[in-house]
Amino acid sequence: MCAQSDDIIDRGRKILEEEGNAILRKAAGLDKTFSEVAEKLLACGGRVALTGVGKSGTIGEKIAATLSSTGTPAFYLRTVEALHGDLGMLAPGDLLLAVSNSGETAEVLAVCDAAKQLGVEIIAFTGSSDSSLARLAGLTLDTGVEREACPLGLAPTASTTVTLALGDALAMALLEERNFTAENYADFHPGGSLGQRLRYQVKDLQREGDDLPVVPEEATLSEAIGEMSRKGNIGVALVVAENGELSGILSDGDLRRILSEKAGAAEPLDLESPVKDLMTSSPLTIDGDASAKDALQVMEVRSITSLAVINHLGKPIGLIHLHDILGRGKIVL
C-alpha cells in the first residue's frame, strides 16, 4: 500500500471519528425536549410530515421513511410542491417536522408559516435555537454540532449525520412505546426478506435431517454439548426417548442454569451426567404446517429462540430457530 493510500485512509478515519463523536456528544446532551417530541408524535391523531431543502430535505425524507416503516404514519413533503398546492396534504391534527440546520431556509419557513395557518403544529429540527424556524415551532430539537466534519467547514456532514441519528432515535423510541413487533414490521414490508419469510410455513424454514441436533436420553452432558456445537451451533439439542418421541430439550439457557446452581457447590459439574437429568422436560413445540409468523410470536411471548417441530407421533422432525426466520440462518429464500 502506497503512502498516498495511507493518507486517504487516515482522512477517512478522521471524518468517521468526527461524525461519531458528534453523535456521542449529542447523546450526552439529550434533554427532556426529546421525550416531549416523542410524546407529541405518540399523541398525534393524524400523520407526520417531514420537510426540508437540499441535504436537510434528503435527511427528512429518510426520517419519514423510517417512521412510516416502524409504526408512525409519516410522509415527506417537498417544499416547492407544498407551496404550489401540496399543502393540501396537511390537515389539522397533523404534525410538520421541519429540518433546517440554520433555521433560516426561506422555503422551509414559508411552508411552516402556511402550515401553521392550517392549524398544523410545527416541530423544528435545527442547529440554531434562536432562529426563525425555532420561533415558529412549538418544540425545537437541537441538531447543532460543534463543527462540520468537512475540512472546509462547509459541506453538511456532522450536522446531517446527527440529524439523521436523532430521527432514528425518535423512531426507535416510538417503536418501543408502541410495542411494535417484528410481525408488525413484516406487515409493512411484504416485499422485503422478513415479510416474505413470515409468510412461509415452519416446514419451509425448519432445520431437519442431518442438520437436526438430536441426542438420546442416555447421552451424557458432554455428548449433548458436542451435538449442539456440531449441528449449526444454535445452542440447543433435542432429547429423544427410546421410542423416538421428544422428551426434552437442552439449551444454552439450561447450561447457564446448571452452572449457576453448581457455583460454590461441593461437587463440580460432571460432564458425564445423563442429559435426561439436566434437560427441560416437555418443551414447547410447533407443527410444521404452522406459519413462521406464529412461530415468531411464540418465541417472542415465551422469550425463547427455538422451537421443536414434531409429527403426530410426538417425534421431532425439525427445529426452527429465530435466525431461520429473521434471515441469519443457513436457509436462503
pTM assigned to the model = 0.62
Q: Are residues 124 and 228 in the same domain?
A: no
Q: Are residues 11 and 159 in the same domain?
A: yes
Nearest CA-CA partner of 143 in 131, 174, 153 = 131
For residue 188, is it within any domain?
Answer: no
Please determine, for residue 1, whether its predicted confidence score (pLDDT) is greater than 60.
no
Reported as a single tens digit per residue, the pLDDT across 45-65 is: 899 999 999 999 999 999 999
Choose one of 180, 207, 226: the last residue of a domain. 180
Q: Are residues 246 and 172 in the same domain?
A: no
d(CA 101, CA 129): 10
For residue 190, is it within any domain?
Answer: no
Count of domains in the chain?
Answer: 2
User: What percent of the chain has a predicted confidence (pLDDT) above 90?
Assistant: 67
Mean pLDDT for the stretch of residues 26-34:
96
Asked if 96 contacts 120 with a C-beta cutoff of 8 angstroms, the reply is yes
Choice among 17-26, 30-39, 324-333 with the minimum mean pLDDT: 324-333
Q: Are residues 100 and 233 in the same domain?
A: no
Q: Are residues 104 and 226 in the same domain?
A: no
Choose one of 180, 214, 235: the last residue of a domain. 180
Domain range spanning residue 111? 3-180
Reported as a single tens digit per residue, the pLDDT across 241-257 is: 999 999 999 988 888 88
Mean pLDDT for the stretch of residues 172-198:
74
Please determine, for residue 193, whether its predicted confidence score (pLDDT) is greater than 70.
no
Q: Are residues 116 and 242 in the same domain?
A: no
Asked if 187 contacts 146 with a C-beta cutoff of 8 angstroms, the reply is no
- Residue 329: the pLDDT is 41
Please determine, for residue 331, whether its predicted confidence score (pLDDT) is greater than 50.
no
270: which 3 cell numbers? 460432571
Assign 3-class secondary structure to the chain. Answer: CCHHHHHHHHHHHHHHHHHHHHHHHHHHCCCHHHHHHHHHHHHCCCCEEEEECCHHHHHHHHHHHHHHHCCCCEEECCHHHHCCCHHHHCCCCCEEEEECCCCCCHHHHHHHHHHHHCCCEEEEEECCCCCHHHHHCCEEEECCCCCCCCCCCCCCCHHHHHHHHHHHHHHHHHHHHCCCCHHHHHHCCCCCHHHHHCCCEHHHHCECHHHCCEEECCCEHHHHHHHHHHCCCCCEEEEECCCCCEEEEEEHHHHHHHHHHHCCCCCCCCCCCEHHHCCEECCCEECCCCEHHHHHHHHHHHCCCEEEEECCCCCEEEEEEHHHHHCCCCCCC
Q: Are residues 200 and 160 in the same domain?
A: no
Q: Are residues 170 and 217 in the same domain?
A: no
CATH code of the domain covering residue 150: 3.40.50.10490
Q: Are residues 303 and 163 in the same domain?
A: no
Mean pLDDT for the stretch of residues 257-264:
79
82: which 3 cell numbers? 407544498
Q: How far is CA 251 from CA 248, 285, 299, 306, 329, in A?
A: 10, 14, 14, 9, 17
Pairs from 128-133 (Cβ < 8 Å, separation ≥ 24): 128/101, 128/102, 128/103, 128/104, 131/100, 131/102, 131/103, 131/104, 132/103, 132/104, 133/98, 133/100, 133/103, 133/104, 133/105, 133/108, 133/109
CATH code of the domain covering residue 213: 3.10.580.10
Q: Are residues 202 and 319 in the same domain?
A: yes
Q: Are residues 108 and 222 in the same domain?
A: no
For residue 103, is it within any domain?
Answer: yes
Q: Are residues 161 and 128 in the same domain?
A: yes
User: What percent of the chain has a predicted confidence (pLDDT) above 70?
Assistant: 91
For residue 32, is it within any domain?
Answer: yes
